[in-house]
Amino acid sequence: MAKAKGAIVVDVERCKGCQVCMVNCPTDTIGMATEVNGKGYHYAYMKNPENCTGCTNCAIVCPDGVITVYRVKQN
């Protein structure tokens, strides 16, 4: 069965650390960094990159549009 493998890129400086992406990630890929960005926010990052399927859920709920999503299909 074809399985999608994905990855996200977070625009760290734009991220406001709201965590909406994190709770909406169905595969527990996303976590919040312990470090902060230039604005002082704990930004989103791929805590478990191996889990990501590239479903885009995180990106489309991100109010600041900081997430870019990539996906490949694997057999």
Partner 1 sequence: MEVKEIIRPENLVYRRTPLMTDANLSYCPGCGHGTVHRLIMEVVEEMGIQEDTIGIAPVGCSVLAYDFMNIDCTQAAHGRAPAVATGIKRLWPDKYVFTYQGDGDLAAIGTAETIHACNRGENITIFFVNNGIYGMTGGQMAPTTLEGMKSSTSPYGRNNATMGPPYKITEMVAQLEGVHYVTRQAVHKPGPVRKAKKAIRKALELQKENKGLSLIEFVSNCNSGWKMTPNDSNTWMEENMFPFYPMGDI
* Residues at the contact surface with partner 1, assessed by CB under 8 A: 5-7, 9, 11, 14, 16-20, 23-24, 41, 46, 49, 54-57, 59-72, 74
DSSP 8: E
Buried b (16+ CB within 10 A) or exposed e, 32-70: bbeeebeeebbbbbbeeeeebbbbebbbeebeeebbebe
Q: How far is the CB of 37 from partner 1 (least distance, A)?
A: 12
Q: How far is the CB of 9 from partner 1 (least distance, A)?
A: 6
Closer by beta carbon to partner 1, 28 or else 64 = 64
CA distance 12 to 42: 9
Q: How far is the CB of 35 from partner 1 (least distance, A)?
A: 17
